[in-house]
Each structure stands twice: as C-alpha cells, then as structure tokens.
Amino acid sequence: MIDVIVIGAGPAGVLAAARAADLGARTALITRDKFGGMAANDGPVPVRTLAHAARLMREARQLGQYGIAVSEPILEYPRLLARVREVVTDVRTHSTLREHVDRLGVTLYEQAGTARFVDPHTIETESGLRLQAEKIIICTGGTSRRLSVPGFELTATHSDAWGLTSVPPSMLVIGGGATGAQVASIFNAFGSRVQLFQAAPRILPTEDEDVSAAVAAAFRESGIVVRENFGTIESFEKTPSGVRMVFSKDGVRDSAEATLVVVAVGWVANIAGLSLVTAGVETDHRGFVRVDAYLRTSAQHIFAAGDITGRLMLVPQAIQDGFVAATNAVRGATTRLGDQVSPIGSFTDPEYAQVGLTEAKARETHDVVVAVVHFDETTRTIIDGRTAGFCKLIADRATCTILGCHVVGERAVEIIQVVAIAMAAGMRVDDLAQVPLSFPTYVGILGRAAYRAAQQLNLEVSWQAHQVED
Ligand SMILES: Cc1cc2nc3c(=O)[nH]c(=O)nc-3n(C[C@H](O)[C@H](O)[C@H](O)COP(=O)(O)OP(=O)(O)OC[C@H]3O[C@@H](n4cnc5c(N)ncnc54)[C@H](O)[C@@H]3O)c2cc1C
C-alpha cells in the first residue's frame, strides 16, 4: 500500500501530488487523459489563444486610425487551430510542473482511463491499473452541464470549437456566463452571426450589475444579438443548414436557428464512473463532492480539491486547494482553507474583471463609497484608442479599505490583479492613491479611482500621484 493516490492531473491534482511527495509521502498520480487537465488542454490556454486571435483581428482593423494602410484581415481557421495546438504543446513543454512531480518521485499514470473506487482504499482504472493507498485525493474537475431536452445531441460545447474546420456562418450560444460570453465574443470577431441567449435577466449574472450592462451593450454594438430572459428551451431540431432551437416564454413559442448551437449552461462535477458511494464519499445537492474547511470529504481519509468541490472554479483556486488537501492528507487535518482575495476575469471583447464584493453585495453589509473612473478620462486609453469602459472602486467608509473593484475595458484582467494585491495587503484607498503608478498606463486608472474614493472619505492624499492624470 502506498501513502497517497491523487486522481486527476489538472492543476489541483498536480499540485496535490507534488505537495504530498514533497512532504515525504509515496505518491501516485492517476489521470484519465493527458497531464495538465482542463486548464492546459481544453480551457484557459486554448480559449485565451483564440481570444488573442480575435484581438489581433480587431487591432488590425484599428491600424488605419494610426495611418497604417493594410487590407481587411482574413481569418484562416484551420491555421488558427494549428496555432492553438502549437500553443497548447508549447505551454505543456515549458511547464516546469511535469519535471517537478517527476523530480519529487511521484509515480504518474497518464492516459490510464477512468479511475474508480473498488473499496475505500483501492482504486482501479479502465486500463487495468489497481493501487491501494492510506489516503486518496479526488481532483477530477468538472464538465459541461447537459440539458435534458429533445435534440440536445445536436448541440456542441466550447470544446467542439477545436474540431471545426471553418468558422460557422451563424451561431447560437446558449448561456451568458463566463464561458458563453467568451465563445460569443470570439466567434463574433471571427465573422459568425452570433445570438447569445441567457435565461436569467442579465448576462454575467455573478458580475456587478454595471459590468453586465456594459458588456451586454458592447456586445450588441459589435453585432451580437443578446437575448436576456429569453424563456425556456423546448427542443433542438435539425434543419437543412444547421440546428433550430425551439423555446417558449409566457406561453408563446418562438425559435431561432443557426449553423451551430453551442451550449454553455454551467459546469457539473466529474464524478461519473468514480463509484463514490463505494468509498462513502457524499456529494452536495448540485452533485459536487462535499468537503469541510480542511477539504476532507465525508470519508475521513479521502480529500477533494479543485473544480470537483464546486466552489470558485478557477486555476489559482484549484492550485491552492491541491496544496491544502495534500498537506492535510499527509500531516493530518491541520491547515484550513483561508479566506482569499480572488480576482476573476474573462477575455471577452471588452474584457471584464472583478475582485471582492459587487456594489449591491457591499451595500448589504457596509456603509460604502463608490468611485468610478471612465476609460475616456485617462491618457493611455486615449493614446491607444481604447476609451470604452470604466473602473469602479468600492471602499468601506469605516475602515477606508477596498471592498471590491470592477473593471470593463482594455486590460481589465491585468488592472484587477493590482487591486487584488492592494486588498490582500489591506491597503486603504488613500495609501493606494499615493503610489506613483507609471504614466501613462492602464493600471494608472486605479490611482485616480482611489483618489476619488479618498476625496469622498475626506482623506488627505499628500503625494498626489494622480495629479498627472487629473
Ligand atoms: C472554456 C473555459 C475557460 C476557462 N478559462 C479560465 C481562465 O481563464 N482562468 C482560470 O483560472 N480558469 C479558467 N477555467 C477554469 C479552469 O480550467 C478550471 O478551474 C481548472 O482546470 C480546474 O482544475 P482541476 O484540477 O480541478 O480540474 P481539471 O483541470 O478539470 O482536471 C481534472 C482532470 O481529472 C481527469 N479525470 C476526471 N475524472 C477522472 C477519473 N474518474 N479518473 C481519472 N481521471 C479523471 C480529467 O480528465 C482531467 O484531466 C476555464 C474553464 C473553461 C471550460
């Protein structure tokens, strides 16, 4: 019997295996497919590469504004897909994680097929591997949610985009969350006629309301048809040129059709085939593995980390989970999962990003001040011709610290990282306003927002770095 088996080699599993081995445990890492999981092979890396291509097309169209004459960019989708594959391979080749787990002596079983519990300490895989361990860490991630409506098999997921040989002339994207918004934004830039259907009253429902509204407005302006609150899907049907979606609202039937329908209506836990019941591992009402603050499941020797736990489903959180779960598996449950500042962003056009509380949530529990700076007020955005967007900073009147920040516009995701650092450091807005941020930069907008918040709080900002902008 070995010490620790980790199931799933995405960011959570890789970090868990590395940490367990680093603590001296004899560790095996088993994964169904390739090392790296969703993050490296099917999520952020390929999607970000497509988003970059979309961005390059937009930049190419801007060249004329700066006196550079070129013809209209033409996308060769197969070549772009080749580039995506190249990037995925390159990222994997340059990842030091693989080398790290090898160096630490982790035994890696790649492409081992689906693993399952045979008893609470024994794992067997489809390839016939059978291993026993004192402790087991489940890091099997998630997968796209399926809808039980007739004709669902006619629809695609974001992963199917890699299999297309050309850009579909038209596309319905069902689901206006982070993944749906990215798919809609990217394929709109590539020339598809995109309709984005959102069942909820607004797209990006977990973002600040102003962010949802701004992104929806920008999407509409760029030609995407955004249909919020559209009703309930009844079925999907094959048509001569694609797929028709039939839906109804308030008893009225309607339909929309396109060459391709991409469904992005949420993420469910990857528990199929694991036989969790055999191990006494319980799931919650959404089907995710239930864990306590030590990432321990209902079976005391089994831990879980990453998307499979159904909390913030992002790479940095999966990594932190993997570390905590492995520490507790090897040393005993001593390390709690701390409250963390978690920046979140998406690479749509325009980008959007957030950290901390939305304005509505902050107002429920705090007396707040809100400072907004629009992108058309700052030098760098004007230089670059990227004047659409805003930065909203929310501060607590009592402590003068930052409760949340929301940015829509160019480099929003990068800007929000700086706020996350300021929040993690517990900085007050007047302290932030006094940092001499470089000029002219996108991040400079934060100095201005912090200064405006400080003014509302009657705080003195002695070294007025923002003055170069104001
Ligand atoms: C389109 C898209 C874009 C995204 N963009 C971002 C982004 O920009 N930034 C960000 O931080 N996050 C992003 N994410 C989320 C991110 O990819 C996940 O949060 C992250 O990959 C979770 O890591 P994980 O280790 O928990 O699971 P995964 O990365 O999903 O890895 C789980 C691994 O376990 C394997 N497995 C599953 N079941 C079994 C089994 N029974 N036996 C053996 N192996 C099994 C799987 O095959 C997989 O390799 C995106 C996700 C998607 C879908």
Tens digits of residue pLDDT in 56-75 = 999 999 999 999 999 999 99
Q: Locate the ligand 1 atom nearest the alpha carbon of residue 308 and give its number.
A: 26
Query: How many angstroms is it from 318 CA to the middle of ligand 1?
Result: 9
Distance separating alpha carbons of residues 441 and 439, to the nearest angstrom: 5
What three-state secondary structure class fits 447? helix
Query: How many angstroms is it from 10 CA to the middle of ligand 1?
Result: 6
pLDDT of residue 165: 87
Q: Is the pLDDT of residue 463 over 90?
A: no
pLDDT category of residue 336 using cuts at 50, 70 and 90:
very high
Structure tokens at 330: 């090897």
Q: Is the pLDDT of residue 468 over 80?
A: no
Q: Is the pLDDT of residue 470 over 70?
A: no
Structure tokens at 127: 């390839």
Q: Locate the ligand 1 atom nearest the alpha carbon of residue 314 and give its number.
A: 19
pLDDT category of residue 329 using cuts at 50, 70 and 90:
very high
What is the tens place of the pLDDT at every residue in 165-184? 899 999 999 999 999 999 99
Q: Locate the ligand 1 atom nearest the alpha carbon of residue 305 and give its number.
A: 26
What three-state secondary structure class fits 281? coil
Q: Is the pLDDT of residue 49 over 90?
A: yes
Q: Locate the ligand 1 atom nearest the alpha carbon of residue 144 and give its number.
A: 53
Tell me the one-letter amino acid at 232.
Answer: T
pLDDT category of residue 466 using cuts at 50, 70 and 90:
low
Q: Is the pLDDT of residue 315 over 80?
A: yes
- 304: CB partners within 8 A, 6+ apart: 137, 138, 139, 281, 289, 291, 295, 297, 325
Query: How many angstroms is it from 94 CA to the middle of ligand 1?
Result: 19
Q: What Rg value do the Cα atoms of the chain yield, rounded? A: 24
Contact 189, 57 (CB under 8 A): yes
Of 407, 377, 376, 411, the closest CA to residue 393 belongs to 407
For ligand 1, atom 19, which residue shows the shortest CA distance? 314
Q: Locate the ligand 1 atom nearest the alpha carbon of residue 345 and give its number.
A: 8
Query: How many angstroms is it from 137 CA to the middle of ligand 1?
Result: 15
pLDDT category of residue 467 using cuts at 50, 70 and 90:
low
Average pLDDT (98-102) is 91
More reliable by pLDDT, 419 or 338: 419
> Average per-residue pLDDT in the chain?
95
Tell me the one-letter amino acid at 245.
Answer: M
- 220: CB partners within 8 A, 6+ apart: 226
Query: How many angstroms is it from 465 CA to the middle of ligand 1?
Result: 42
Query: How many angstroms is it from 89 CA to the middle of ligand 1?
Result: 17
Query: How many angstroms is it from 414 CA to the middle of ligand 1?
Result: 22
Of 421, 423, 435, the closest CA to residue 464 belongs to 435
Q: Is the pLDDT of residue 163 over 80?
A: no
Query: How many angstroms is it from 330 CA to the middle of ligand 1?
Result: 24
What is the tens place of the pLDDT at every residue in 72-93? 999 999 999 999 999 999 988 8
How much of the chain, in percent, has pLDDT values that exceed 70? 98
Which residues have C-beta atoms less than 6 Å from ligand 1? 7-13, 30-33, 37-39, 43-44, 47, 114-115, 139-141, 158, 179, 270, 273-274, 306-308, 313-316, 318
What is the tens place of the pLDDT at every residue in 365-415? 999 999 999 999 999 999 999 999 999 999 999 999 999 999 999 999 999
Helices (H), 156-264: 178-189, 209-221
pLDDT category of residue 462 using cuts at 50, 70 and 90:
confident
Q: Is 96 exposed, middle or buried (0-12, 13-18, 19+ CB in 10 A)?
A: exposed
For ligand 1, atom 5, which residue shows the shortest CA distance? 44
Q: Locate the ligand 1 atom nearest the alpha carbon of residue 274 and give its number.
A: 41
For ligand 1, atom 1, which residue shows the shortest CA distance? 43
Q: Locate the ligand 1 atom nearest the alpha carbon of residue 11 and give its number.
A: 25
pLDDT of residue 312: 87
pLDDT of residue 464: 57
Query: How many angstroms is it from 39 CA to the middle of ligand 1?
Result: 5
What is the tens place of the pLDDT at every residue in 234-277? 999 999 999 999 999 999 999 999 999 999 999 999 999 999 99
Tell me the one-letter amino acid at 185.
Answer: S
pLDDT of residue 97: 87
Residue 165: C-alpha distances to residues 75, 168, 193, 251, 423 (Å) = 12, 9, 17, 39, 45
For ligand 1, atom 6, which residue shows the shortest CA distance? 44
